[in-house]
Amino acid sequence: MPHALLARRRAILLAAGAILARPALAQPPFPDRPIRVIVPWTPGGATDIQMRSICDQASRRLGQPVIVENKPGASGTLGVQFLAREGRPDGYTLGQVPNGTFRMPAMTDRPQWDPTRDFTWIIRLVGYMGGVVVRPDSPWHSMQELVAYARAHPGRLSYGTPGANTTDIQMTRLARLAGIDWVAVPFRGAAPNLQALLGGQIHFSAETSAWADMALEGRVRPIGVWMSERAARFPNVPTFREAGFDVLGESTYGIAGPRGMDPGVVRILHDAFKEALYDPAHLATIARFDMPVRYLNTEDYATAAMMQNEEEKRTVQELGLRAS
């Protein structure tokens, strides 16, 4: 082989070896830029306030801003729609996961996401306290009085919910048990729901604990909660079951991301949000709304999500729900 050709081949091999020997470029530590968390409700409601509090605390642990982005509408599912269809699994776009995440796909023949495979479950956080509130000048002081009036005036009463197929699930169950007919009016979150109540556009609100401060101020009057026990700050307000109606509406939520997230990134996010969950400032925030801590780690949350998916399928079938 000619000397020139050998020299050229030796130079190529040496260059290739140098490239192979060169250390791989280090990946920047996660996170190295702001993280956004989609909250699919209007600002000012219990979920929005709770999520802003925990995201503020998580940002202190992560060293980057954790920014809440409100995307109300579609019964609280615009966030998970985005995660499933457009979200990148890099850990920088997350979302609060409401019950509609599981319920909505069961209500349509062409679901836009699959709860069993389209998400990375990161951490479960808290549960809701909720119930029925009326205006202070309302003639109803108990669930029994409200139900009795509804029986005597079928179709006359309207009530607000924070979105279609949210708290109206509890009220539909109650209506079937009590043999009554009333009209659900869905709003795009708790704030417009309660504003409509104060404005006299609806007769009562079936709402999560966004009404708690208003109740303490005397601006609304709670007459029943759909919890397993009475709320700590409202010990005189009976549960639905105590009022004679076997309806339970406790629910929980957490944070998820798009499917396919790196386990190491998930672990960092889980640990930061877990610390934030138990931070005294965040605990004080959820105490304002009587929201209990319902923590689950990543693995247990994924298991619970699969179980909830099956439960919501049964609820949809039982109540004959369909997406509008």
CA–CA gap between residue 39 and residue 94 (Å, rounded): 9
pLDDT attached to residue 264: 97
Its pTM stands at 0.78
pLDDT value of residue 21: 42
- Between CA 193 and CA 295, with CA 56 as vertex, the angle to 5 degrees is 75
Alpha carbon distance 95, 81 (integer Å): 10
pLDDT value of position 23: 46
Tell me the per-residue pLDDT of 213-237, one tens digit each, with 9 for 90 and over.
Answer: 999 999 999 999 999 889 989 999 9
**Cα(275)–Cα(255) distance, integer angstroms:** 14
Write the DSSP assignment of 202-225 as a string of letters: SSEEEEEGGGHHHHHTTSSEEEEE
Could you read off the pLDDT tens digit of each residue along the chain, which spans 324 residues?
Answer: 455 544 555 544 444 444 444 444 456 899 999 999 999 988 988 899 999 999 999 999 999 999 999 998 887 888 999 999 999 999 999 999 998 899 889 888 889 999 999 999 999 999 988 999 999 999 999 999 999 999 999 999 999 998 877 888 899 999 999 999 999 999 988 899 999 999 999 999 999 888 999 999 999 999 999 998 899 899 999 999 999 999 988 789 999 999 999 999 999 999 999 999 999 999 999 998 889 899 999 999 999 999 999 988 888 888 887 765
Residue 210, both tokens: 């966004």
Q: pLDDT at position 166, please?
A: 81
Query: CB-side exposure of 85: number of CA atoms within 13 Å?
Result: 9
pLDDT at site 8: 55
Q: What's the rounded Cα separation, in Å, for the pair 228 and 59?
A: 34
- Scored b (16 or more CB within 10 A) or e, 47-56 reads bbbbbbbbbb
**What is residue 239's DSSP assignment?**
B
Tokens representing 27 are: 């990946």
Which pLDDT belongs to residue 9? Answer: 52
